[in-house]
Each structure stands twice: as structure tokens, then as C-alpha cells.
Amino acid sequence: MSGTTRITVTLPSEQVAELRKLTDNVSGYVAEAVARQIRHELLAADLRRHQEEHGAFTDEELSAAKGRIFGAGEATGPASAA
């Protein structure tokens, strides 16, 4: 495990109240959320870079990727976009 650094973060009071209902380990919860967001942004940058070099993904490529991510029984529509 890597080292840690103590920082101060300002959040809306309502978010803090909800956060405390969800966990006793606020630091761990926030660290996990930050790590997830960093992975999301790095993946988005990789996908943009790939498309700049190779062109936009085809419908077939997108469908195959969704199948690998969500499995063969993936639902389509707005609910699956989460």
C-alpha cells in the first residue's frame, strides 16, 4: 500500500451528512471514489487517443465491447447507460 497524505476537503453539508450515513470510514470512501474517477478519466483519454489515431469506433466494435463488459445478456436503453 502506498503512503497517505492528509488534506482538507470542503463539501456541502448535505453531502457530508449523507456520506456519514453510508460509512464510518469517510477517508476510505472518498479515496475509493477518487480512484474510480481517476480510472474513468484515464480510460476516457485512452479511448479518445485511440479514436484520434484509428478513427471512430464502429457499431460492431461498440456492441462487442458492451458484450465483453456487460455479458451477452446486456440490456439496451437508458437504464443500461449507468
Please state the domain extents for the chain. 16-65
Q: Give the pTM.
A: 0.69
Q: Is the per-residue pLDDT at 82 higher than 50?
A: no
CA-atom Rg of the chain in angstroms: 18
CB 74 within 8 A of CB 67: yes
CB 19 within 8 A of CB 28: no
Residue 56 DSSP symbol: P
| Coil/strand/helix, residue 52 | helix
Confidence of residue 77 (pLDDT cuts 50, 70, 90): low
Report pLDDT for 72: 73
pLDDT in tens, 32-67: 999 999 999 999 999 999 999 999 999 999 999 999
